[in-house]
Amino acid sequence: MRASVAAFLFVVVVALNGWCQHQPERLILTNVNVVDTRTGHMDRKLTVVIKDGHITAIAKVGLIQEDRKVHVINATGKYLIPGLWDMHVHSAGGPAAAWDENIIYPLYVANGVTGVRDMGGDLKLLEERRKRIDAGQLLGPRMVIVGPFLDGRKEGEKPDPTIIAVNTPAEGRKAVDDLKPRVDFVKVLSSVPHDAYLAVADEAVRQHIRLVGHVPESVSVAEASAAGQRSIEHLSGVMLACSSREGEIRQGRLDALAKKDFATYSALTTQAFQTYDPDKAKRLFTELANNNTYQTPTLVWWQASAKIDDPSLTSDSRMKYVPQLAREQWDPASLQKGTTPNAIATLKMISSRYLELAHAMHRAGVPFLAGTDGPDPYVFPGFSLHDELELLVKAGFTDAEALQAATFYPALFMAKADQYGVIDIGRVADMVLLDANPLEDIRNTRKIAAVIVRGKYHSREDLNNVLTKVAEAAGKKSEALASAQ
């Protein structure tokens, strides 16, 4: 963008008979302040030209001749950022039941989230929905997917179509091989045995597909990073890896899980926090930074989990966008069934300590991605990504660094920096126009004037209409959703 800003741009749309009839519509933003997410700086009063869903020109001056094929937006006093990415969602099954596609996907776009990394669910449904979004048949964000989870399964456990059982190295390698043609990443969960995990990691490297997910209980974070796991979700295993009694506590937790002794497991988790070793943590964080092992802390998910005893949750104004069946599942009384006061207290302690942990890791240079784990209870699709950005700032990120975690770093992580994450010539035209400067206050990412997806301009009025329709649909009992439960 810098080279083009140095020159003057003259955008001239010439209306020649017969010629302009075959040209696609151009969108031009004038006098707009563009946030450079690579550097955290601002380029002011630029003209940005969009054609065929891509940015074709950026410069200081635009001379524009009126034409019916050109849509000009005077963006004086507004701020342009790349479209936001939520790097941990479950939009088509998984831990949360699948939401209606006409509810969940428009909510992302209405909140400026133009891309999501779906971290596990019904692969066939994900493929179908992604195809419809890409074809313009469904309003929604761009999607990268992992499909089914890889996890260890015990005999007698009920089969789960969203999970591929991986108990041996051979099963692990086969799972990676089977998934490679259909998914963008391979994801592991917490119960994968140690030797099977190493086989999955090795096969993922061999097949050039990225391994992401939880750090299994049987594996250390340092081992996972060295084996090539590219992103760690929810900070799983990190606090244990910082414990001076890591090996002892790990074995105790494995034994407790084998016996389904969750009280002991919870107590050992608390011990891991109590035995945090700053020097060991520093060495680990340096290793994670050197290996470029990204963290998706989903702080908003931890915060929501810690508040399930709060009856005021149901009064959140965003509840009107939650489908009826999900509202029933989100009932605080139902969520507390099977839990204990000690378990909730542990969750509150974890959510607080993870803010401190994210701060220490960030200071050490560990790269971060913004993700939410929606639509788990009280993690609202689209809306909660803005909560996550605020929590990153609370954890010590600057406003610019928090914004980078939802724009520039997702693009780097996906090896798609030539397409997303910055506003530059040749990049796809997924952008958010804001009424206030997000570099001064990250909360300004909520002040959305318009969203541009695939080059199409959605005004504030358009977005309000989308939200109205979503609220109406969410308020109805859906037979289709009921049958999906």
Q: Show me where the domains of the chain are located.
A: 2-82+421-473, 85-242+277-413
pLDDT of residue 14: 34
Q: Tokens 């974890």 label which residue?
A: 350
Q: What pLDDT, on a 0 to 100 scale, did the predictor assign at position 157?
A: 75
Alpha-carbon span 316 to 303, nearest angstrom: 15
Number of H helices, E strands in the chain: 19, 17
Q: 208: buried, middle or exposed (CB in 10 Å: 19+, 13-18, 0-12)? A: exposed
Res 221 pLDDT > 70: yes
Specify the pLDDT at position 460. Answer: 98
Radius of gyration for the alpha carbons in the chain, expressed in angstroms and rounded: 23
* Residue corresponding to tokens 């869903």: 53
Residue 189, pLDDT score: 97
Which one has a higher pLDDT value, 261 or 159?
Answer: 261
pLDDT score recorded for residue 405 = 98
Looking at the domain 85-242+277-413, which fold is it? Answer: TIM Barrel (3.20.20)
Q: What pLDDT sits at residue 44? A: 96
Among the residue ranges 141-155, 162-176, 370-384, 451-465, the one predicted with the least confidence is 141-155
Model pLDDT, residue 11: 41
Nearest-CA neighbor of 149 among 84, 99, 216? 216
Task: Please give the CATH architecture assigned to the domain spanning 2-82+421-473.
Answer: Roll (2.30)
**What Cα–Cα distance (Å) separates residue 481 from each residue in 93, 116, 323, 477?**
11, 22, 9, 8
Question: What's the CA gap between 145 and 156, in Å, rounded?
Answer: 29
Tokens of 248: 């002892």
- pLDDT over 90 percentage in the chain: 83
Sheet strands (E) in 140-233: 142-145, 149-151, 163-165, 185-188, 210-213, 229-233
- Give me 216's structure tokens: 């299994």
pLDDT band at 480 (very low <50, low <70, confident <90, very high): very low
* pLDDT over threshold 70, residue 21: no
Indicate the SS3 state at residue 43.
Answer: strand
CA distance 359 to 396: 5
pTM of the model: 0.93
Per-chain mean pLDDT for the chain: 91
- Decide if 62 contacts 93 (C-beta within 8 A): no
8 Å CB contact between 210 and 186: yes
227 alpha carbon, distance to own chain's centre: 23
The C-alpha atoms of residue 463 and residue 260 are separated, in whole angstroms, by 47
Asked if 407 and 84 count as a contact pair (C-beta separation under 8 A), the reply is yes
Q: Measure the CA–CA gap between 337 and 341, rounded to whole angstroms.
A: 11
> What is residue 66's predicted lDDT score, i.e. its pLDDT?
61
Residues contacting residue 389 through CB under 8 Å, at least 6 positions apart = 370, 402, 403, 405, 406, 442, 445
